[in-house]
Structure 1
Protein backbone atom coordinates (compact mmCIF):
# COMPACT_ATOMS: atom_id res chain seq x y z
CA UNK A 1 0.00 0.00 0.00
CA UNK A 2 1.17 3.51 -0.77
CA UNK A 3 1.19 5.29 2.62
CA UNK A 4 1.30 8.77 1.07
CA UNK A 5 -1.02 8.85 -1.94
CA UNK A 6 -0.83 12.00 -4.00
CA UNK A 7 -3.83 13.91 -5.36
CA UNK A 8 -3.44 17.36 -6.79
CA UNK A 9 -5.09 19.54 -9.44
CA UNK A 10 -3.12 22.31 -11.15
CA UNK A 11 -3.69 24.99 -13.80
CA UNK A 12 -2.48 24.18 -17.31
CA UNK A 13 -0.03 27.07 -17.39
CA UNK A 14 1.88 25.32 -14.56
CA UNK A 15 2.21 21.96 -16.30
CA UNK A 16 5.97 22.25 -16.88
CA UNK A 17 6.50 23.15 -13.20
CA UNK A 18 4.15 20.54 -11.78
CA UNK A 19 5.02 17.75 -14.16
CA UNK A 20 8.72 16.98 -14.08
CA UNK A 21 8.40 14.97 -17.29
CA UNK A 22 6.90 17.99 -19.05
CA UNK A 23 10.25 18.83 -20.56
CA UNK A 24 10.22 15.68 -22.72
CA UNK A 25 6.52 15.58 -23.42
CA UNK A 26 4.97 17.12 -26.52
CA UNK A 27 2.04 19.09 -25.09
CA UNK A 28 0.78 20.45 -28.41
CA UNK A 29 -2.25 19.06 -30.18
CA UNK A 30 -0.32 16.56 -32.30
CA UNK A 31 -1.81 13.06 -32.51
CA UNK A 32 -0.65 10.72 -29.76
CA UNK A 33 1.16 8.59 -32.33
CA UNK A 34 3.40 11.57 -33.09
CA UNK A 35 4.58 12.10 -29.49
CA UNK A 36 8.24 13.08 -29.54
CA UNK A 37 9.50 10.98 -26.63
CA UNK A 38 11.82 8.07 -26.02
CA UNK A 39 9.21 5.53 -24.89
CA UNK A 40 11.82 2.80 -24.29
CA UNK A 41 13.85 5.02 -21.93
CA UNK A 42 10.69 5.97 -20.05
CA UNK A 43 9.52 2.33 -19.89
CA UNK A 44 12.84 1.35 -18.25
CA UNK A 45 11.83 3.70 -15.43
CA UNK A 46 8.32 2.23 -15.18
CA UNK A 47 6.73 5.13 -17.08
CA UNK A 48 4.11 4.82 -19.82
CA UNK A 49 2.58 7.50 -22.03
CA UNK A 50 -1.13 7.60 -22.84
CA UNK A 51 -3.67 9.71 -24.69
CA UNK A 52 -7.47 9.73 -24.63
CA UNK A 53 -9.55 11.28 -27.42
CA UNK A 54 -12.43 12.92 -25.55
CA UNK A 55 -14.76 12.77 -28.56
CA UNK A 56 -14.98 8.98 -28.46
CA UNK A 57 -12.93 7.84 -25.44
CA UNK A 58 -10.42 6.00 -27.61
CA UNK A 59 -7.06 5.34 -25.97
CA UNK A 60 -3.55 5.37 -27.36
CA UNK A 61 -0.93 3.77 -25.11
CA UNK A 62 2.81 3.24 -25.19
CA UNK A 63 3.96 -0.35 -24.63
CA UNK A 64 4.74 0.45 -20.97
CA UNK A 65 1.09 1.28 -20.20
CA UNK A 66 0.00 -2.11 -21.54
CA UNK A 67 2.64 -3.70 -19.28
CA UNK A 68 1.53 -1.70 -16.23
CA UNK A 69 -2.06 -2.91 -16.69
CA UNK A 70 -1.01 -6.49 -17.57
CA UNK A 71 -2.73 -6.33 -20.97
CA UNK A 72 -1.47 -7.60 -24.36
CA UNK A 73 0.44 -4.90 -26.23
CA UNK A 74 -0.88 -3.34 -29.40
CA UNK A 75 -4.50 -4.37 -28.91
CA UNK A 76 -7.23 -1.72 -28.95
CA UNK A 77 -8.38 -1.28 -25.36
CA UNK A 78 -11.79 0.28 -24.68
CA UNK A 79 -11.52 2.71 -21.74
CA UNK A 80 -13.92 0.60 -19.67
CA UNK A 81 -11.27 -2.18 -19.42
CA UNK A 82 -8.48 -0.23 -17.67
CA UNK A 83 -11.01 1.68 -15.56
CA UNK A 84 -12.29 -1.68 -14.27
CA UNK A 85 -8.74 -2.55 -13.14
CA UNK A 86 -8.55 0.37 -10.69
CA UNK A 87 -9.18 -0.47 -7.02
CA UNK A 88 -12.52 1.12 -6.19
CA UNK A 89 -11.32 4.07 -4.05
CA UNK A 90 -8.71 4.91 -6.70
CA UNK A 91 -11.21 4.58 -9.54
CA UNK A 92 -13.64 6.95 -7.84
CA UNK A 93 -10.90 9.51 -7.13
CA UNK A 94 -9.54 9.26 -10.69
CA UNK A 95 -12.96 9.73 -12.28
CA UNK A 96 -13.68 12.79 -10.08
CA UNK A 97 -10.33 14.43 -10.86
CA UNK A 98 -10.61 13.53 -14.56
CA UNK A 99 -14.06 15.14 -14.83
CA UNK A 100 -12.86 18.22 -12.93
CA UNK A 101 -9.77 18.49 -15.16
CA UNK A 102 -11.86 18.36 -18.32
CA UNK A 103 -14.55 20.75 -17.07
CA UNK A 104 -12.11 23.33 -15.69
CA UNK A 105 -9.20 22.76 -18.10
CA UNK A 106 -6.77 21.77 -15.35
CA UNK A 107 -4.08 19.16 -15.09
CA UNK A 108 -3.94 16.66 -12.26
CA UNK A 109 -1.64 14.23 -10.52
CA UNK A 110 -2.98 11.28 -8.56
CA UNK A 111 -1.62 8.11 -7.02
CA UNK A 112 -3.89 5.16 -7.82
CA UNK A 113 -3.95 1.49 -6.94
CA UNK A 114 -4.63 -0.88 -9.81
CA UNK A 115 -5.19 -4.62 -10.03
CA UNK A 116 -3.43 -5.59 -13.30
CA UNK A 117 -5.19 -8.13 -15.51
CA UNK A 118 -2.26 -10.54 -15.09
CA UNK A 119 -2.54 -10.49 -11.29
CA UNK A 120 -1.21 -8.69 -8.25
CA UNK A 121 -1.59 -5.01 -7.49
CA UNK A 122 0.54 -1.92 -7.96
CA UNK A 123 0.49 1.79 -7.31
CA UNK A 124 0.77 4.20 -10.23
CA UNK A 125 1.30 7.93 -10.29
CA UNK A 126 -1.08 9.27 -12.92
CA UNK A 127 -0.32 12.73 -14.33
CA UNK A 128 -2.60 14.22 -16.96
CA UNK A 129 -3.58 17.44 -18.65
CA UNK A 130 -6.25 18.25 -21.21
CA UNK A 131 -5.26 19.47 -24.64
CA UNK A 132 -7.58 22.25 -25.76
CA UNK A 133 -8.63 23.66 -29.11
CA UNK A 134 -10.28 27.07 -28.86
CA UNK A 135 -10.39 26.59 -25.06
CA UNK A 136 -12.35 23.34 -25.46
CA UNK A 137 -10.71 20.15 -24.14
CA UNK A 138 -10.37 17.63 -26.97
CA UNK A 139 -7.83 15.17 -25.54
CA UNK A 140 -6.48 14.11 -22.18
CA UNK A 141 -2.81 13.18 -22.26
CA UNK A 142 -0.29 12.11 -19.68
CA UNK A 143 1.95 9.59 -18.02
CA UNK A 144 1.45 6.63 -15.74
CA UNK A 145 4.43 5.76 -13.57
CA UNK A 146 4.86 2.68 -11.43
CA UNK A 147 5.54 3.96 -7.91
CA UNK A 148 5.41 0.45 -6.39
CA UNK A 149 9.09 -0.07 -7.23
CA UNK A 150 12.32 1.89 -6.98
CA UNK A 151 13.74 2.48 -10.48
CA UNK A 152 16.78 4.51 -9.42
Structure 2
Protein backbone atom coordinates (compact mmCIF):
# COMPACT_ATOMS: atom_id res chain seq x y z
CA UNK A 1 0.00 0.00 0.00
CA UNK A 2 2.72 2.46 0.93
CA UNK A 3 4.56 1.93 -2.37
CA UNK A 4 1.38 2.75 -4.31
CA UNK A 5 0.95 5.89 -2.22
CA UNK A 6 4.59 6.82 -2.72
CA UNK A 7 4.30 6.42 -6.46
CA UNK A 8 1.66 9.15 -6.34
CA UNK A 9 3.58 11.44 -3.98
CA UNK A 10 4.34 14.98 -5.02
CA UNK A 11 6.76 17.75 -4.28
CA UNK A 12 5.30 20.92 -2.87
CA UNK A 13 7.46 23.38 -4.83
CA UNK A 14 10.03 23.73 -7.62
CA UNK A 15 13.63 24.05 -6.53
CA UNK A 16 14.82 27.63 -6.31
CA UNK A 17 18.27 29.02 -5.66
CA UNK A 18 18.54 32.70 -4.69
CA UNK A 19 15.34 33.65 -6.50
CA UNK A 20 16.12 31.74 -9.70
CA UNK A 21 14.73 28.37 -10.59
CA UNK A 22 17.43 25.83 -9.81
CA UNK A 23 18.13 23.84 -12.94
CA UNK A 24 20.42 20.88 -13.22
CA UNK A 25 20.13 20.74 -16.99
CA UNK A 26 18.77 17.21 -16.89
CA UNK A 27 15.29 15.73 -16.76
CA UNK A 28 15.09 13.34 -13.83
CA UNK A 29 12.57 10.52 -13.79
CA UNK A 30 10.68 9.18 -10.82
CA UNK A 31 10.79 5.45 -10.24
CA UNK A 32 7.74 3.51 -9.10
CA UNK A 33 8.87 3.97 -5.48
CA UNK A 34 9.02 7.76 -5.92
CA UNK A 35 12.73 8.06 -5.29
CA UNK A 36 14.69 10.30 -7.58
CA UNK A 37 16.43 8.18 -10.24
CA UNK A 38 19.83 9.85 -10.48
CA UNK A 39 21.73 7.04 -12.18
CA UNK A 40 21.95 8.93 -15.47
CA UNK A 41 22.69 12.29 -13.88
CA UNK A 42 24.82 11.34 -10.86
CA UNK A 43 28.14 11.90 -12.65
CA UNK A 44 26.98 15.26 -13.97
CA UNK A 45 25.89 16.30 -10.48
CA UNK A 46 29.21 15.22 -8.98
CA UNK A 47 31.13 17.20 -11.62
CA UNK A 48 29.20 20.30 -10.56
CA UNK A 49 29.96 19.63 -6.89
CA UNK A 50 26.36 18.71 -6.11
CA UNK A 51 25.39 15.88 -3.79
CA UNK A 52 21.95 14.37 -3.32
CA UNK A 53 20.36 13.48 -0.01
CA UNK A 54 17.14 12.40 1.58
CA UNK A 55 15.80 11.98 5.11
CA UNK A 56 12.99 9.55 5.85
CA UNK A 57 10.75 11.43 8.31
CA UNK A 58 9.36 8.24 9.85
CA UNK A 59 12.72 7.04 11.20
CA UNK A 60 15.17 9.91 10.39
CA UNK A 61 17.30 7.57 8.24
CA UNK A 62 19.58 9.55 5.94
CA UNK A 63 20.55 8.52 2.41
CA UNK A 64 23.46 10.42 0.86
CA UNK A 65 25.40 10.42 -2.38
CA UNK A 66 29.21 10.14 -2.02
CA UNK A 67 29.58 13.93 -2.40
CA UNK A 68 27.54 14.62 0.73
CA UNK A 69 29.68 12.20 2.75
CA UNK A 70 32.72 14.15 1.50
CA UNK A 71 31.18 17.54 2.43
CA UNK A 72 30.71 16.34 6.01
CA UNK A 73 34.08 14.55 6.14
CA UNK A 74 32.45 11.25 6.98
CA UNK A 75 33.36 7.76 5.75
CA UNK A 76 31.06 6.37 3.08
CA UNK A 77 31.15 2.83 4.47
CA UNK A 78 29.19 3.88 7.60
CA UNK A 79 25.54 4.96 7.50
CA UNK A 80 24.97 8.67 7.98
CA UNK A 81 23.50 9.50 11.37
CA UNK A 82 21.23 12.55 11.62
CA UNK A 83 22.12 13.38 15.24
CA UNK A 84 25.85 13.28 14.45
CA UNK A 85 25.38 15.24 11.23
CA UNK A 86 23.35 18.00 12.89
CA UNK A 87 26.13 18.40 15.47
CA UNK A 88 28.51 19.36 12.64
CA UNK A 89 26.50 22.50 11.80
CA UNK A 90 27.73 25.69 13.47
CA UNK A 91 25.24 26.84 16.10
CA UNK A 92 23.64 29.67 14.08
CA UNK A 93 23.30 27.47 10.98
CA UNK A 94 21.98 24.55 13.02
CA UNK A 95 19.28 26.75 14.58
CA UNK A 96 18.21 28.11 11.17
CA UNK A 97 18.27 24.67 9.57
CA UNK A 98 16.15 23.06 12.29
CA UNK A 99 13.62 25.91 12.18
CA UNK A 100 13.34 25.73 8.37
CA UNK A 101 13.13 21.93 8.49
CA UNK A 102 10.24 22.02 10.97
CA UNK A 103 8.42 24.67 8.91
CA UNK A 104 9.02 22.67 5.74
CA UNK A 105 7.51 19.54 7.24
CA UNK A 106 4.56 21.31 8.85
CA UNK A 107 3.63 23.48 5.86
CA UNK A 108 4.85 21.16 3.07
CA UNK A 109 7.15 23.83 1.66
CA UNK A 110 10.73 23.63 0.50
CA UNK A 111 13.66 25.78 1.53
CA UNK A 112 17.17 26.81 0.58
CA UNK A 113 19.79 27.57 3.22
CA UNK A 114 23.49 28.33 3.16
CA UNK A 115 24.87 26.63 6.25
CA UNK A 116 28.24 26.73 7.92
CA UNK A 117 29.59 23.34 8.97
CA UNK A 118 32.70 21.90 10.60
CA UNK A 119 33.33 18.56 8.83
CA UNK A 120 34.12 15.54 11.00
CA UNK A 121 37.61 15.34 9.49
CA UNK A 122 38.32 18.98 10.30
CA UNK A 123 38.24 22.24 8.45
CA UNK A 124 35.41 24.60 7.77
CA UNK A 125 32.99 24.92 4.89
CA UNK A 126 29.72 26.36 3.70
CA UNK A 127 27.12 24.19 2.01
CA UNK A 128 23.96 25.19 0.21
CA UNK A 129 21.11 22.96 1.33
CA UNK A 130 18.16 22.75 -1.05
CA UNK A 131 15.29 20.76 0.43
CA UNK A 132 11.79 19.83 -0.58
CA UNK A 133 9.28 17.61 1.16
CA UNK A 134 7.80 14.57 -0.52
CA UNK A 135 4.20 14.26 0.58
CA UNK A 136 1.59 11.54 0.69
CA UNK A 137 -1.76 13.22 0.83
CA UNK A 138 -1.43 15.99 3.40
CA UNK A 139 1.60 14.52 5.15
CA UNK A 140 5.31 15.01 4.49
CA UNK A 141 7.02 11.61 4.60
CA UNK A 142 10.48 12.52 3.37
CA UNK A 143 12.71 15.51 2.80
CA UNK A 144 15.11 15.34 -0.12
CA UNK A 145 17.21 17.59 -2.21
CA UNK A 146 20.70 18.70 -3.03
CA UNK A 147 23.76 19.93 -1.16
CA UNK A 148 26.54 21.89 -2.77
CA UNK A 149 29.82 23.17 -1.38
CA UNK A 150 29.69 26.98 -1.69
CA UNK A 151 32.69 27.79 0.53
CA UNK A 152 34.28 29.76 -2.32
CA UNK A 153 31.36 32.23 -2.16
CA UNK A 154 32.21 33.07 1.46
CA UNK A 155 35.94 33.72 1.05
Partner of 1:144: 147
1:84 to 2:67 alignment? no
User: 1:89-100, aligned counterparts within 5 Å?
Assistant: 89-100=92-103
* Partner residue of 1:119 out of 117, 122, 128: 122
Distance 2:123 2:23 in 1: 28
Partner of 2:131: 128
Please say if residues 48 and 63 of structure 1, whose CA atoms lie closer than 8 Å, have aligned partners that are also in contact.
Answer: yes
Rg bigger for which structure?
A: 2
Distance 1:90 1:99 in 2: 14
SS at structure 2 position matched to 1:106? coil
Describe the shift of the 1:143–1:13 C-alpha distance in structure 2 as closer, same or farther (beyond 3 A). Answer: closer
Partner of 2:48: 45
Alignment TM-score, normalising by the size of structure 1: 0.80
**Ranges in structure 2 where 5+ consecutive residues have no aligned partner:** 1-10
Distance 2:21 2:51 in 1: 18
RMSD of Structure 2 on Structure 1 (CA): 2.4
Shift of 1:134: 1.0
Alignment TM-score, normalising by the size of structure 2: 0.79
Partner of 1:58: 61
Please say if residues 69 and 115 of structure 1, whose CA atoms lie closer than 8 Å, have aligned partners that are also in contact.
Answer: yes
Distance 1:24 1:73 in 2: 27
**Ranges in structure 1 where 5+ consecutive residues have no aligned partner:** 1-10
Please say if residues 24 and 37 of structure 1, whose CA atoms lie closer than 8 Å, have aligned partners that are also in contact.
Answer: no
1:31 to 2:35 alignment? yes
SS at structure 2 position matched to 1:117? coil
Deviations 1:5-29 (A, max 9, x none): xxxxxx9344376433385455676
